Chains A and B, each alone.
Chain A
Amino acid sequence: MLNVPWCSRFLRGLIILVGLLALWQVLVWLTGVPPYILPSPVRVVQALMNNGGLIGRHLGVTLTEILAGLICGTVLGVGAALMVGYFRPARRWLMPVLVASQAIPVFAIAPLLVLWLGYGMASKVAMATLIIFFPVTAAFLDGLRRTEPGWVDLARTMTAGVGGAPPEGNRLRILLYIRTPAALPALASGLRVAAAVAPIGAVVGEWVGSSAGLGYLMLHANGRMQVDLMFAALLALSVVSLTLWFALDAALRRLLPWQPDLFSETQQERAS
């Protein structure tokens, strides 16, 4: 039962992919562009097979950077949102910093990060972290701010101590047990954005200065007119990014089953 919508979704994705590849191949045939401008998909697959080990090694580096960046950015973003959501002074002092941090383009400080943190992974992880920090913080904070007022009222009557305002411990528990779970769907939206943009951070970091990673490989392949290798690396990167996104999306759906989802295929079928 459960496998059927999943299967049809997979099949649909496959059809779209094959269709696009066919279009690409036809375009190459019709225009007759030389392979160093646009290689045909067949050549790209050949390049991928011939350089499997090389691409795999660099892919491992980039994937590590992406995952480390996702973890750091999520932890920092969630922490910042909780701080801003709980401490009133933090709201006043941290919010302007958060907004200002987003006004500075992360790409522009990439060379600085490489200068400070070196050619290794650290500068790329920092890039990915910086690029996902804001979407995660903003989305989660938005969720924390929009707790159903009825739940807050209920919690207030439950925790009201004699003499008015609830004690600090109760406020913290309201944050942890009501406002945070209620904001998880919003955090999930932030994480989906994060999973989609984290690879950008890692690859841009690699372009600016590195000795390993898919970005490094692509830059070098480009310089040596190995456009088919460049496309092969790009293909590997896309597959990894897509897999990451879908895995995260599936995990979030599983973890938040109580969240209404109009796009979910099973719910659509139930409604129709």
Chain B
Amino acid sequence: MATSGLSETAPNTPCIRPESSPSVRLQVARLAYDGMPLFEHLELALTAGETTCLLGPSGVGKTTILRLLAGLQPLADGDRMEASDGSALTGRVAYLEQRGLLLPWLPVLDNVLLGARLRGEFRDADRARELLRRLGLQGQAGSMPATLSGGMRQRVALARTLMEDRPVILMDEPFSALDAVTRYQLQALTADLFRSRTVLLVTHDPAEAVRLGHRILILKGRPARLTPPLCPPGTPPRDPTSPVELACGKSLMRSLGMVQNPC
């Protein structure tokens, strides 16, 4: 599986992609918690090979959408989830969340190889080392997670996500526990690493959405609704300090109710 895509790999694409990333469509007829409807007739589309950012206040259901897509929460009757290539999404998503979820008893290399170990597959340590090197973690393969900084741990989690080599990547606020400088570096790295994969990035930070999203959606209200997608010009990672991006961020902040006075 890993070798079949090697020849197609462009020189600056750091990872091998065995299949092209499909677009994904999720339709939820109705989802309620304790009788309170969370979603009604919600429809979310992820465009193929692009990063879709999902913004919204906490508790609005962003993580629920992500869990539905990841197959961690079952779909109800009448709900639909489909990929553009016709096959099911199960087994084709990689999942990364804010805490990174490294196993504290395994050294870095074994954490990166976790998926292969859990599936009883061959553990390609060479490829894992190569990914660690690309993520600036050379020499850390034998370190224990507790000895690493938060930023390094999240890099390891990124390496583990890349090692899975899935066409669809789901990320739940992956940088929110990091300091500003580390976050900025990792955003650029992520945009580069996951280029041309179908990515859903759940975030609460409008600047992050403007930096990384090909398309930006806002989820708000109850039952929650999605706003029409905002597509900032240019390709990610964008410079968050340029005037166009600043204006974009401001309009997002207005939509989220963070700025009262439109100017």
Contact = CB atoms under 8 A, between A and B. Distances in A.
A170 B120 contact: yes
A157 B72 contact: yes
B248 interface: no
A164 interface: yes
Contacts of A182: 103
Contacts of A155: 114, 118
Contact of A173 (B67, B88, B117, B144): B117
Contacts of B70: 153, 157
A253 interface: no
A181 B90 contact: no
Contacts of B114: 154-155, 158, 177
B101 A150 contact: yes
Interface in A124-180: 148, 150-151, 153-164, 169-170, 173-174, 177-178
A177 B88 contact: no
Interface residues of A, number: 28
Interface in B89-109: 90-91, 93-95, 97, 99, 101, 103-105
Given A157-B71, A163-B88, A181-B103, A173 B94 contact: no
B91 A161 contact: yes
A164 B120 contact: no
A163 B118 CA distance: 18
A181 B105 contact: yes
A173 B120 contact: yes
A255 to B, nearest CB: 10
Interface in A238-256: 256
Contacts of B120: 169-170, 173
Given A177-B117, A181-B105, A150 B99 contact: yes
Interface of A: 148, 150-151, 153-164, 169-170, 173-174, 177-178, 181-182, 184, 256-259
